[in-house]
Structure 1
Amino acid sequence: MTLIFAHRGYSALYPENTMKAFREADKAGADGIELDVQLTKDGEIVVIHDEKVDRTTNGKGYVKDYTFKDLRKLDASSQKKKLFSQIEPIPSLIEVFEWMKSNRIICNVELKNGVFPYEGMEEKVISLIRAYDLADRVILSSFNHYSIVYCRHLAPEIETAPLFSEGLYMPWIYAESIGSQSIHPKITIAKSELIKASEEYGIAVRPYTVNKEKEMHRLFSIGCSAFITDDPVLAKKIRNMYEPKRG
């Protein structure tokens, strides 16, 4: 079965990378969530995509220049204020892992350490995964492949997945060479032949960000491992067409 990962939570309807978006993704029946982490000035792991808070909150400036306490005062639902009157704070990764105790959802943690190298990020994230006993429910991904290799070195028990947006020749061989069990390519380069060849080789493929119905149909029909989408409800509706009818 092709698994459905909710991109930054159920971000088609709810404020991205908030606990509200994660809870709603779980309610919608997503198999997993995808989220992004950065580090605050005082070293807390927080869930936010951009290096700056400007786009997704009512604040301004870099995440790295805020203390955790000050960052928590911002409203991460400001983009969708017409829909939500309630304030949604930027979550900490601890908060997400605490919530994961109550469900069986899988979590893809993307390390956003390409612009700022965030010293100690890998160790902090891995330490938390181990503290919450989530090694079998977390996948670590990044566009920073040096970071992925370092994670693999620190914690061989945790699955890693390099992210890439441009074509790689035989990416399954590359993934194996850096000790990763999966790859997360951009949907525009995730051709069916690439997916099939990779999975036959034993490397899982989870393309991002899949929002078009046509692409969802293609991925379900070829039995792709999983994909990452803003709309888990639409994805689930389409997946139901491919599941054998019980009779």
Structure 2
Amino acid sequence: MESVIQRIAHRGGALLAPENTLAAFRQALALPVDAIELDVQMSRDGQLIVFHDATVERLTEGRGNILDLDFAYLRALNVAARYPGGWPEPERIPTLREVLELIKGRRRIWIEIKPSRRGSVYGRYPGIAEAVVQELERSDMLSQAVVISFDWYLLPELRRLKPEIETGAILSEDIWDPQAGQALDTLLEQVRELGCSWLDVEVSLVQPQLPALVHAYGLKLGVWTVNSLEGLQRLAASGVDALTSDRPDLFAALE
């Protein structure tokens, strides 16, 4: 049974298994989670891949920017190559389709559409919104998905393609600095005008009044990334609607 608070495995549980891999997602499916979160980018030749970074060096033995790499090269890499403490077998970069097939009918899915990035220059993968919607349609998972992004102006594009799709704007310290006097009301109005259902907030930005304020705008509040039991329990009691963690095994204590 789904809990009142959505319990979300961040990248499948990045502190329990190599992130964004089928191994991580399979492990998460055995844990008390309501949804699995993952990151989607696009290879140079247009394949939707599940991978977080703009470059492959942190996680694999390869080199290069996703913008410059074809799927065949990416698929040959071992995403567990640099996993702390080692991992018993190689893990490959999955496609979004493979993950949807694994998760369908078992959990909800939160898809973060990543921007492309080269150095400090951010962009948008061509046609990525249409491609993600097509994969969700193909898998009959539109109603089980929440699509989130730092690229807020991608979100209404998703809803133009499929008005029923649930979207969320990600809010980080890079976007909103409460110490700088930026009005949260203005930001929440913008998120609502973009047609979003969710505001997904970095945990360091959460203030006691935030859940009630977000709810007053008709939005739901998600918080990322919460990796301690104390933090999960405190935020669960505060009225948030979703908690995202690299340690989804801790969610058992919230039941």
Superposed pair shares fold, TM > 0.5: yes
3-state DSSP of counterpart to 1:207:
strand
CA contact (8 A) 2:59 2:83 kept: no
Counterpart in the other structure of 2:28: 25
In the TM superposition, what is the alpha-carbon distance from 1:197 to its structure 2 partner?
2.1
In the TM superposition, what is the alpha-carbon distance from 1:226 to its structure 2 partner?
0.7
CA contact (8 A) 2:11 2:24 kept: yes
Counterpart in the other structure of 1:244: none
Counterpart in the other structure of 1:188: 204
3-state DSSP of counterpart to 1:12:
coil
Q: How many residues align?
A: 238
Alignment equivalent of 1:169, drawn from 179, 184, 191? 184
Whether 1:199 aligns to 2:215 is yes
User: 20-29 vs 86-95, which deviates more?
Assistant: 20-29
Counterpart in the other structure of 2:235: 219
Where structure 1 has 5 or more consecutive residues not aligned to the other structure, the ranges are: 241-247
Q: Percent identity?
A: 32
Q: Deviations over 1:21-48 (max 9, x none)?
A: 1111111121111111111111000000
Whether 1:10 aligns to 2:43 is no
CA contact (8 A) 1:4 1:236 kept: no
CA RMSD after TM alignment: 1.5
User: 8-17 vs 167-176, which deviates more?
Assistant: 167-176
Matches within 5 A, 1:11-160: 11-80=14-83, 82-101=85-104, 103-113=105-115, 115-160=122-167
3-state DSSP of counterpart to 2:192:
helix
CA distance in 2, matches of 1:218, 1:199: 18
Question: Could you state the TM-score of these two structures normalised by the residue count of structure 2?
Answer: 0.88
CA distance in 2, matches of 1:179, 1:136: 16
Structure 1 segments, 4+ long, off by >3 Å, are none
In structure 2, give the amino acid aligned to 1:150: E
Question: Could you state the TM-score of these two structures normalised by the residue count of structure 1?
Answer: 0.91
